Amino acid sequence: MRHCLVLALALVNACARSTLAYDDLEPAMRAATCARLARCGAFPDGDACEAYFRPRPDADLAAAVATGATRYDGELAQLCVDALADQACDATLREVRRAPQACTRMLVGTRAPANPCEFDRECSSGVCAPTATCTPGQCCPGTCAAPAPRAAIGETCADTTDCADDTYCTTEHVCAALESAGGPCFVDSNCAYGLACDNDTFPGACVVAAATGAPCPDDRCAELGARCIAGTCTLAPLGAACVAARDCTEFARCADVTHTCVATPSLGMSCSGPCAGEAYCDHATNRTCQPPLDDMQPCFGDNECTSRYCAEGPVFDACTPLPVCS
């Protein structure tokens, strides 16, 4: 009887596991990220956050999942989405700076070493070594290769992904331990957990990131949505007083006339920098947020194109469709 009960409970638990279809993954991850950003005060609500970000579907990855070159696990995907929504607001924590384990395991390549590939996630090793020089806007064929051991402190590196956990790749291309308070830095990820990079000097210095409501003598706050204002880490919602852009969250700007934090401009609004959502700032003509350009339209940057690729041309650059590589 006991064995039957255990089996029944196991079946119930198995049936209760949530799964996420691949087609729902990108919007679900965006919604989860926005739920956290809104909870942490970076946006007034989830809808405002989702309107800020431009959807970026990955056609290559979708093709690889469809053909089986990449194996997708819907249960791990749901766990990933849940983990993203539940992440803490303190951006200096180790569990926030590192991707949730479910997110790194939900998409795995199926091709063995020595097999042809187009990108890393097609390979079981996670490494697709290019067999030729890659050209922008074209597929980059390669061969699945065995992953190199991650470099230890003192060993050479190309970037931080080459280094062991809790280390980083310096400007001298050598893996080093995360910097303690007072150590040199260029970005927050150079510093030990609990610290942030104060870029008032060059190079910057790792400093203690203060909690919301605490004094911030080094001008850095730990939590998303908080800024160091008048010597105290304070939430900086839309409408908060500001003197410069650094007094607002990275998703807002400081209005020149009202000196308050306002939303990033969107389609049809005047602009001097980035636009929110499906729009770009047309600096060349009327400095207004415009919809992305169709293929073959002249462009100055990838963000202006619906295809997200502005190809160099003999007379002018033009928006060009990207090939699906898988």
Residue 194 contacts by C-beta under 8 Å, 6 or more apart in sequence?
A: 92, 93, 208, 209, 222
Q: What is the pLDDT of residue 200?
A: 86
Reported as a single tens digit per residue, the pLDDT across 26-70 is 999 999 999 999 999 999 999 999 999 999 889 999 999 999 999
User: How would residue 16 be classed by pLDDT, with cut points 50, 70 and 90?
Assistant: low
Q: What is the pLDDT of residue 284?
A: 85
Q: What is the pLDDT of residue 282?
A: 94
Reported as a single tens digit per residue, the pLDDT across 213-260 is 999 999 999 999 999 999 999 999 999 999 999 899 999 999 999 999
Reported as a single tens digit per residue, the pLDDT across 149-190 is 999 999 999 999 999 999 999 999 999 999 999 999 999 999
Q: What is the pLDDT of residue 136?
A: 86
Three-state helix/strand/coil letters over the chain: CHHHHHHHHHHHHHHHCCCCCHHHHHHHHHHHHHHHHHHCCCCCCHHHHHHHCCCCCCHHHHHHHHHCCEEECHHHHHHHHHHHHHCCCECCCHHHHCCCHHHHHCEEECECCCCEECCHHHECCCCEEECCCCCCCCCCCEEECCCCCCECCCCECCCHHHECCCEEECCCCEEEECECCCCEECCHHHECCCEEEECCCCCEEEEECECCCCECCCCCECECCEEEECCEEEECCCCCECCCHHHCCCCEEECCCCCEEEECCCCCCECCCCCCCCCEECCCCCCEEECCECCCCECCCHHHECCCCEECCCCCCEECCCCCCC
φ, ψ at 93 (rounded to 5°): -70, 150
Query: What Rg, from alpha-carbon coordinates, does the chain have?
Result: 23
Q: For CA atoms 59, 63, 68, 72, give the dihedral sign.
A: positive
Reported as a single tens digit per residue, the pLDDT across 100-127 is 999 999 999 999 999 999 999 999 999 9
Each domain of the chain, given as residue ranges in start order, spans: 18-111, 224-263, 266-326
Tokens of 202: 């060059």
Reported as a single tens digit per residue, the pLDDT across 274-303 is 999 999 999 888 899 999 999 999 999 999
Q: What is the pLDDT of residue 169?
A: 98
